[in-house]
Amino acid sequence: MERRPPGSSRPTEPGPCLSGQRGADQAASASLQSAARARPGRHPLAVAAVLPAGGCGERMGVPTPKQFCPILGRPLISYTLQALERVCWIKDIVVAVTGENMEVMKSIIQKYQHKRISLVEAGVTRHRSIFNGLKALAEDQLNRKLSKPEIVIIHDAVRPFVEEDILLKVVTAAKEHGCSDCDLEFGTECLQLALKYCCTKAKLVEGSPDLWKVTYKRDLYAAESIIKERISQEICVVTDTKEDNKHVSHLLEEVLKSELNHVKVTSEALCHAGRDLQKIILDQCYNFVCVNVMTSDFQETQKLLSMLEESNLSILYPVVVVSVHFLDFKIVPPSKKMENLMLIREFAKEVKKRNIWLCGLLISYPQDEQKLQESLREGAIIIASLIKERNSGLIGQLLIA
């Protein structure tokens, strides 16, 4: 069976397939969505996208063209493709890359399992690249590999944060207004190219601040921080079904909630073949805290790691797993358990290959209620920083709260 990242299933028929990342926008764009989904009595609008990606990134000050610069290990262009792929009514995505980057681009598509992508060779200018993309869409009608588009979205490969609602606005505007003389005069040459070679109408639509373009090195930094922030919005605390473990998990969950405003903290048991946990994984939670009480073994953590490995959740983003061990440091000083705990280095090395970043965390588990609250708080701060910063240098480390 083909393995796909969860949440990335792409229905062949248009339907509600907005990603969950911007829940508040969903209602607002619901009415717009119908525009692209289907027109009464007619077939749904055929939409394609062309991404000019032949630039060399001179202003970036780095040797790699900016569209291939890695963010959390994945090239920038893959984030842009992901943003477009989530929009199920975009039937084809044509990417124009230079001959020398053709193989790199093919391996990116394969590694990150992008779908509906065709590649064409970029031209010497951005507009020539767009032309090549449009030509491919126009000429492919005999092969029937690509759908004949009524509307073509021209989208920069280095604008990774494009949302479905803005794409819908573009498509709706194109459908309603067509391509006026005014657009041709004040718009860019792209609009003329679209009209000339595809008989396809286009219009200039104002973008949102989210639509910014990665131009300078500082934009790459900003993009990385935004992506880190987006995938740190949810933490799932998991443990087995023992009463004591559930109690401690609950305490940690509460402290995490109070320390991390705006972060959704859920908890799940590692039982019933983990069906609830499977749902969390499908819903794209990228952060897991596995709670172990008075034990230094990794049985539960390993169960969780197996589930994550099978899920393919980590194809697009690194998944952070913190194996938390509550130990009473007075009865068992951390040093006594060190030998066993050091095994985490081996597990971490193994799952790192699958883009799962494992760390260990010992939390002091004193009898005294107030002291326990203090060590829980310290633990929560460390968990928060591991998740927010996603520092790959700390993989396999054992931290102490």
Interaction site with its own copies (CB under 8 A): 59, 209, 212, 216, 218-219, 221-226, 333-336, 338-339, 342, 345, 381-382, 384-386, 389, 391-394, 397-400
In contact, 89 and 153? CB cutoff 8 Å: no
Question: What is the closest distance, in whole angstroms, from the C-beta atom of residue 27 to its own copies in the complex?
Answer: 20
In contact, 234 and 285? CB cutoff 8 Å: yes
Buried b (16+ CB within 10 A) or exposed e, 347-357: bbeebeeebbb
In contact, 6 and 311? CB cutoff 8 Å: yes
β-pairing, 74-75 with 264-269?
unpaired
Question: What is the closest distance, in whole angstroms, from the C-beta atom of residue 356 to its own copies in the complex?
Answer: 18
* Closer CB to its own copies, 148 or 212, in the complex: 212
* Closer CB to its own copies, 285 or 386, in the complex: 386
Helix, strand and coil percent figures for the chain, each rounded to 5: 50, 15, 35
Among 164, 204, 175, which residue's Cα sits nearest to residue 14?
A: 164
* Closer CB to its own copies, 17 or 382, in the complex: 382
Element (H, E) at 305: helix 299-311
Q: HSE (CB half, 13 Å, CA atoms) of 140?
A: 18
In contact, 217 and 63? CB cutoff 8 Å: no
Grouping H, G, I as helix, E, B as strand and the rest as coil, residue 154 is strand
Gap between the Cα atoms of 239 and 11, Å rounded: 34
Question: What is the closest distance, in whole angstroms, from the C-beta atom of residue 38 to its own copies in the complex?
Answer: 35
Question: What is the closest distance, in whole angstroms, from the C-beta atom of residue 216 to its own copies in the complex?
Answer: 6
* Closer CB to its own copies, 9 or 391, in the complex: 391
Q: What angle do CA 319, 73, 264 make, to 5 degrees?
A: 30
* Closer CB to its own copies, 128 or 345, in the complex: 345
Question: What is the closest distance, in whole angstroms, from the C-beta atom of residue 290 to its own copies in the complex?
Answer: 19
* Closer CB to its own copies, 140 or 389, in the complex: 389
Question: What is the closest distance, in whole angstroms, from the C-beta atom of residue 250 to its own copies in the complex?
Answer: 23
Question: What is the closest distance, in whole angstroms, from the C-beta atom of residue 232 to its own copies in the complex?
Answer: 13
Question: What is the closest distance, in whole angstroms, from the C-beta atom of residue 3 to its own copies in the complex?
Answer: 30
Q: Report the interhelical angle of 299-311 vs 344-352 (nearest 10°).
A: 0
Question: What is the closest distance, in whole angstroms, from the C-beta atom of residue 388 to its own copies in the complex?
Answer: 8
Buried b (16+ CB within 10 A) or exposed e, 228-257: beebbbbbbbbbbeeeebbebbebbbebbe
In contact, 349 and 396? CB cutoff 8 Å: yes
Give the count of beta carbons closer than 10 Å to the beta carbon of residue 163.
20
Question: What is the closest distance, in whole angstroms, from the C-beta atom of residue 389 to its own copies in the complex?
Answer: 5
* Closer CB to its own copies, 230 or 272, in the complex: 230
Strand order from edge to edge, sheet including 117-121: 117-121, 90-97, 47-52, 151-154
